[in-house]
Amino acid sequence: MMEKVIQQIKENFLAINIDSKWENILANSPVTISDDTLSRKEKQIMLKHKLSEKMAHERSLETDYWIIRDWGGIKGFRKNPENDALLKQLPDFLADGKLPKEVFERISSFSKVASFLNPKLYAIYDSRVIFSLNWLIFKNYGNSKKLFPQPVGRNTNLAKYHLDTVFELSGKKVEYHNGEDAYHEYCSLMRHFSQELFQNANKPYETEMLLFQIAPDAIIEDIKNSIRLSISM
């Protein structure tokens, strides 16, 4: 499954040191991460597991909103009755294997909570991650495999390289997973990639974090090196 993508990641991106770029965003954490000997990445992973344990015994909307707004930086995700209800139902949606439209429309937010509810099964569905993933799938398989709907992102570098335009100019009509199934298909793929790349399928966040970090630099450089465009004047 996606062996060409896995091989390209191994050859071109796996050795990239992402820790120096990883932001330290643990302020006001619901759990304490105090070991100063840990790298920033290791602290983020420890947070994921410690907070996951806490949420298993003591789930609260306050923690969910902290994950989305403070840790995740999505300040536009407002606390209101609709979001409260969707967050409360999120474990049931995840167990069903399909997400309703109103959840997938804000999957960047809801998947952050999912990744803490069960970090062994669920990863964050972020615009940067999907940008990297879609490019690698398209580059290695053309339009023979489905791509993933990309959420609106905040990275200005990625905004300059609109992948739908690249796909259109290639002359290959691509197909996307539907919103109901895309998140679970994505998480399954992250688990498979993590098994092949990091020898542990229970760490889908390892692949997610790698794809997130390489998007604005290494992936864009790969796009530049792969595309040849001529304009008839």
Q: What is the pLDDT of residues 196-209, one digit of tens each?
A: 999 999 999 999 99
Mean pLDDT of 63-76: 93
What's the rounded Cα separation, in Å, for the pair 114 and 107?
A: 10
- pLDDT for 24: 60
Q: Does position 219 have pLDDT exceeding 80, yes or no? A: yes
Mean pLDDT of 61-82: 94
- pLDDT for 113: 98
Contact 209, 18 (CB under 8 A): yes
Q: Does position 174 have pLDDT exceeding 70, yes or no? A: yes
Residue 17 makes CB contacts below 8 A (sequence gap 6+) with: none
pLDDT, tens digit, 9 for 90 and up, residues 37-56 = 788 888 889 999 999 999 99
pLDDT, tens digit, 9 for 90 and up, residues 146-161 = 999 999 877 777 888 8
AA letter at 55: M
Of 56, 31, 58, the closest CA to residue 45 belongs to: 31
User: Which of the residue ranges 40-44, 59-63, 154-158, 184-188 would you say has the lowest mean pLDDT?
Assistant: 154-158
Residue 38: how many other CB atoms lie within 10 Å: 13
Summarize the chain as % helix, strand, coil (round to 5).
60, 0, 35
Q: Does position 78 have pLDDT exceeding 70, yes or no? A: yes
- pLDDT for 27: 62
Longest Cα–Cα distance of the chain, Å, equals 66
Number of H helices, E strands in the chain: 12, 0
What's the rounded Cα separation, in Å, for the pair 207 and 192?
A: 9
CA-to-CA dists, residue 71 to 21, 29, 76, 116, 209, angstroms: 16, 8, 13, 12, 15
Overall pTM surpassing 0.75 (yes/no): yes
Element (H, E) at 134: helix 127-141
Paired with 147 in beta bridges are: 176
pLDDT, tens digit, 9 for 90 and up, residues 87-125 = 999 999 999 999 999 999 999 999 999 999 999 999 999
SS3 at position 50: helix
Q: Between 232 and 53, name the one with better pLDDT.
A: 53
AA letter at 65: Y
The per-residue pLDDT of the chain, averaged, comes to: 91
What's the half-sphere exposure (Cβ side, CA atoms, 13 Å) at 77?
27
Please report, for the chain, the start and end positions of each structural domain, with discontinuous segments joined by +. Answer: 127-226
pLDDT, tens digit, 9 for 90 and up, residues 1-35 = 899 999 999 999 998 766 655 556 666 788 887 77
What's the rounded Cα separation, in Å, for the pair 193 and 211?
A: 11
Contact 76, 55 (CB under 8 A): no
What's the rounded Cα separation, in Å, for the pair 65 and 54?
A: 15
pLDDT, tens digit, 9 for 90 and up, residues 80-92 = 999 999 999 999 9
